[in-house]
Amino acid sequence: MKKILIPTDFSENSYKAIDYILELFKNEVCVFYFLNVYNYGTHGLSAIEMLQADDEWFEKPKENSLKQLGDLLEEYTVNRNDAKHEYHVISESLSLVKALEKHTKKLNIDLIVLEGNTKVNKNIETVVGEMRTCPVLIVPRNVFFNIGINLTIASDFMDSVRTIEIDNFLKTFKNTSLKVSILVLGDQSAFTDEVNRNMMLLFNHLEYGLGVSVKVEFAEQSSNLKAYAASHFNNIMCVVDNKPGILRKFGIYKSKVISTIEKFHNHPVLTIHQ
């Protein structure tokens, strides 16, 4: 049974992301947790004003969050009932990342689902950069579901790919038609022995270890990457976020995977972690 955590702000795009992920996992037994984070709008308030605030001021954001979560829960449990799916709601007065960290650990979450935009926003950048205990699936606003699962794993293979998150994702779809491609990023004529070795390790693991038929393709430049995405419009793109170095941990550099995600803004993007 998969446990999937979906933050929601109750927007139209948020509902589209929920609809997509429910359709994606329609053949699988899953528990879905809908998470809403809220704040008290304390910006500009003095300490004295906060102390003088009545109980209603503190309760109203929580009540609004719970009411909207209740409406969402009714929509999916009553109007779109699926015997294989179970739903729960969570309301938290925390930052999005803190709430995700708390409940990913507490509930042993297998997948986080975020609604995406044309550009990678700060929430996505922060979650992808800091949430490293499970994969994150980013669902764009104009996504549509295609019959079967087509997953493309894109990497420069400068490092070997940690396969545990890929394995867990692929094994979920035992009841679904599944196709996998490996997209090697970089100039093929300049690949080192290490790059070739890392690519073949992943290929052999998927082909012979998991029994999945795998196709290998190459994208030498960013323009090739965009062209690949345009010609594979129904694929889920999987990108590998390498272990952050010291400069990234201090916020001097952001993950290279962010610029890759932006090239796939019309595709669902699965980020896995080294």
Q: Please check whether residues 122 and 176 belong to one and the same domain.
A: no
136 shares its domain with 150: no
Q: Domain boundary residue among 140, 170, 193?
A: 140
Residues 197 and 135 in one domain: no
Q: Could you tell me how far CA 274 lies from the centroid of its own chain?
A: 15
Same domain membership, residue 172 and residue 248: yes
Number of domains in the chain: 2
Same domain flag for 122 and 192: no
Residues 136 and 220 in one domain: no
Q: Which CATH number fits the domain that encloses residue 6?
A: 3.40.50.620
Alpha helices, H only, the chain = 12-24, 47-52, 55-74, 96-107, 122-130, 164-171, 193-204, 222-231, 246-249, 257-263
Instruction: Provide the residue-wise pLDDT of the chain in tens; the chain has 274 residues.
Output: 889 999 999 998 899 999 999 988 888 899 999 999 987 654 444 444 445 455 555 678 888 999 999 999 998 988 777 889 999 999 999 999 999 999 999 999 999 999 887 567 788 888 887 877 888 999 988 776 666 778 999 888 988 888 888 888 887 776 667 789 999 988 888 899 999 999 999 999 999 988 888 999 988 766 677 788 888 878 888 888 776 656 555 555 566 777 778 777 778 888 888 7
Looking at the structure, do residues 59 and 177 belong to the same domain, yes or no? no
Boundary residue ending a domain (120, 140, 160): 140
Q: Which domain holds residue 37?
A: 1-140
